[in-house]
Amino acid sequence: MDLGVAIMIEKVQYWLDLCDDNLITAKWLLEGKRYLDMAFFCNQISEKSLKAVVACVTNETPPKTHDLHKLAKLGNIGERLNDEQRLFLDDISKYQIEARYPETKERIAKALTDEKCKQILEETEGFLRWIKKLLKE
């Protein structure tokens, strides 16, 4: 195996391993009814999965950005996102930034019911499976 290919695979696997670890944490937080934290970790899983794609496509360290649509574009998959996935990225993004600030944190936290969080986790797992499938192509 070419050294460059091995390094690229290692970079991609780094991001995917973080996703898997964050998924375990998100499930634990859901069980503990720590909904806002769970949603934040689901955002992190989505971001890190997209960074895995960027690392694969560019063979470089992904940029330090939280803009999920920008990461999808940099990974050359922005066009491949379906409407559901685009909406998912829009929705999950608010748990990265907006949930940190007092003026929006309370409103967001109140909207995170057990049912909503289960949906977020399910969509996050589906998105991660899709990304892993793309990376195998």
Rounded Cα distance, 53 and 126, in Å: 16
- φ/ψ of 60, rounded to 5, equals -130, 165
Question: For 37-75, what is each residue's pLDDT tens digit?
Answer: 999 999 999 999 999 999 999 999 999 999 999 999 999
pTM: 0.92
Which residue segments constitute the domains of the chain, with CATH numbers given? 3-136 (1.20.120.330)
Among 1-15, 18-32, 93-107, 114-128, the range scoring the smallest mean pLDDT is 1-15
